[in-house]
Amino acid sequence: MTGKELQEKLTWKFADISKRYPEDVEKADRFCSGYKDFLNRGKTERECVSETVKLLEAAGYRPLDIHREYQAGDKVYEINRGKSVIATTFGTRPLEEGIRMNGAHIDSPRLDLKPNPVFEKNGIAYFKTHYYGGIRKYQWVTIPLSMHGIVYLEDGTKVEICLGEKEGEPVFCMTDLLPHLSAEQNGRKLSEGIKGEELNVIIGSLPYEDSEEIKEAVKLKALVLLHEYYGITEKDFLRAEIELVPTYKAVDIGLDRSLIGAYGQDDRVCAYTALQAEIDVKAPVYTTMTVLADKEEIGSTGNTGLDSDFVLHYVEKLAAVMKVDSRDVLRNSLCLSSDVNAAYDPTFASVYEDRNSCYVNKGCVLTKYTGSRGKSGSNDASAETMAKVIRIMDEAGVCWQTGELGAVDAGGGGTIAKFVAAMDVDVVDLGVPILSMHSPFELSSKLDVYHTYRAFKAFYEAE
């Protein structure tokens, strides 16, 4: 053998998608127009559940009914408290041979209103916020924010809020100092450039009209307007979940339109691709389960996050319907914990190890382990699990790559994988490389999004 032939045989490099499949540039662009719509319509976990259920119902899915019998190809779903959702297509193999699961999350970093949020200071009315998930606070000031959420009134009426998304609607904003006066602030560490208690969102600046007689007339004016818009009072914020999110719509980035810029791509990019794969699979061999979960960004806590038993209980229901032991089902199942990874950023190369980073336009990223300080808090998928998933993707001609979450000891993070593993299920992380992850405007590659969809579809269709 020549050196060149030996090199071909013995070494390995991940492919550039556009070189291997030039025709996929256009296919990816088409696929991503639906993805951009999904991002624009679902900016909170609740809105994502509503959008998902619309798509599921349109595709013939119906709520799971444990008193019914199901055949291969039947499609069902179940909503958990309006904030997470699971969809299933029944397979041709017996359920005890395992489920093909795909878990993504639909919560994203944002600013939540504090329970008592409204205040006035020196003629400006504000909302006090508490950030949710890992954000770099300085990135969130001086950008337009819209208000989404729900409020329960005294009488139990539920009011849904979505303000700032439609053309012409008012939006909200946090301020930052001008460079002329930032000498003291410039001396702060970047992580403290904007501090937690400086995340105050402007909601108004005009006083209530007969302001002579009342204190805090600007706050009152804001409350009057909130009451006009939504019928709510200050006390109602105690029965609310209101999130402030970037107003930006999803757009194409670059002269070649190869990238998508949008808020909330972590992890709605995997939610959308998993959902489309779930919908598009017709009569799979293994029964599928597509889980779109809440609360991943704060550790999968709460009863809508993966560190709760709602997924286990769903598997138990499926097992009861099929009259099999749920422990056999779980032990034989294979799961993709579908989450984004940090794409190699040439501008900030030092935090990456270039041989083990994922890159835009090289496909979905298979992440064996996450965690920090020696893989701590990670699932660390087994060689057997890696082998199964790699075989499925290779046989389907999917472009994929591996990636670590940054160089050793550069930082770290976690996903839902360890909670799935705790149910005695084989699991590995797979998702889309993202630039500027957790910023108000994250970037993904259309080709990567499309090949992630292809990976998920192959995973559901494989024998």
> For residues 365 and 403, is the Cβ–Cβ distance under 8 A?
yes
> In this chain, which stretch among 213-221, 322-330, 332-340, 369-377 interacts with Mn ion, using CB under 5 A?
332-340
- In the complex with Mn ion, the residue whose CB is nearer, 112 or 339, is 339
Q: For residue 456, what is the enclosing H or E element?
A: helix 446-461
- In the complex with Mn ion, the residue whose CB is nearer, 120 or 266, is 266
> For residues 282 and 460, is the Cβ–Cβ distance under 8 A?
no
Q: Which two tokens stand for residue 66?
A: 């444990």
For the segment 264-283, give every residue that binds Mn ion (CB under 5 A). 266-267
For residue 97, which of 308, 305, 408, 331 has the smallest C-alpha distance? Answer: 331
> In this chain, which stretch among 37-45, 176-184, 339-347, 396-404 interacts with Mn ion, using CB under 5 A?
339-347
Work out how close the CB of 340 gets to Mn ion at its nearest, in angstroms, rounded to a whole number. 5
Q: Is 366 exposed, middle or buried (0-12, 13-18, 19+ CB in 10 A)?
A: buried
> Which residue has 């959420």 as its token pair?
149
For residue 73, which of 61, 85, 90 has the smallest C-alpha distance? Answer: 90
Work out how close the CB of 25 gets to Mn ion at its nearest, in angstroms, rounded to a whole number. 26
User: How many helical (H) and strand (E) elements, i.e. helices and strands, does the chain have?
Assistant: 12, 20
Work out how close the CB of 304 gets to Mn ion at its nearest, in angstroms, rounded to a whole number. 15
Q: Is residue 339 at the binding interface for Mn ion, with CB under 5 A as the rule?
A: yes
* CA gap 298, 10 in Å, rounded: 43
For the segment 212-271, give every residue that binds Mn ion (CB under 5 A). 266-267
Q: How many chain residues touch Mn ion (CB under 5 A)?
A: 3
Work out how close the CB of 134 gets to Mn ion at its nearest, in angstroms, rounded to a whole number. 7
Q: Which two tokens stand for residue 138?
A: 């300085």
Dihedral sign, Cα of residue 399, residue 361, residue 336, residue 248: negative
> For residues 418 and 425, is the Cβ–Cβ distance under 8 A?
no
- In the complex with Mn ion, the residue whose CB is nearer, 175 or 301, is 301
For the chain, how many residues are written? 463
Q: What is the DSSP letter of 169?
A: -
Pairing of the two strands 364-367 and 145-152: unpaired
Work out how close the CB of 438 gets to Mn ion at its nearest, in angstroms, rounded to a whole number. 6
| Rg of the chain in Å (alpha carbons) | 24
Residues paired with residue 105 on neighbouring β-strands, in sequence order: 293
Work out how close the CB of 244 gets to Mn ion at its nearest, in angstroms, rounded to a whole number. 18
> In this chain, which stretch among 120-128, 229-237, 299-307, 336-344 interacts with Mn ion, using CB under 5 A?
336-344
Work out how close the CB of 76 gets to Mn ion at its nearest, in angstroms, rounded to a whole number. 26
Work out how close the CB of 436 gets to Mn ion at its nearest, in angstroms, rounded to a whole number. 12
**x-marked contacts with Mn ion along 282-321 as a string, rule CB under 5 A:** ----------------------------------------
Compute how many other C-beta atoms are within 10 angstroms of the C-beta atom of residue 256.
Answer: 10
- In the complex with Mn ion, the residue whose CB is nearer, 236 or 266, is 266
- In the complex with Mn ion, the residue whose CB is nearer, 64 or 135, is 135
Q: Which two tokens stand for residue 149?
A: 């959420």
Q: Which two tokens stand for residue 270?
A: 């995997």
- In the complex with Mn ion, the residue whose CB is nearer, 120 or 297, is 297
Work out how close the CB of 32 gets to Mn ion at its nearest, in angstroms, rounded to a whole number. 19
Q: What is the DSSP letter of 138?
A: G
- In the complex with Mn ion, the residue whose CB is nearer, 132 or 152, is 132
Q: Is residue 45 at the binding interface for Mn ion, with CB under 5 A as the rule?
A: no
- In the complex with Mn ion, the residue whose CB is nearer, 247 or 341, is 341
- In the complex with Mn ion, the residue whose CB is nearer, 250 or 330, is 250
For Mn ion, the nearest residue by Cβ is 267
- In the complex with Mn ion, the residue whose CB is nearer, 226 or 360, is 360
* CA gap 111, 147 in Å, rounded: 10
Work out how close the CB of 105 gets to Mn ion at its nearest, in angstroms, rounded to a whole number. 6
Q: Interface residues with Mn ion (CB under 5 A)?
A: 266-267, 339
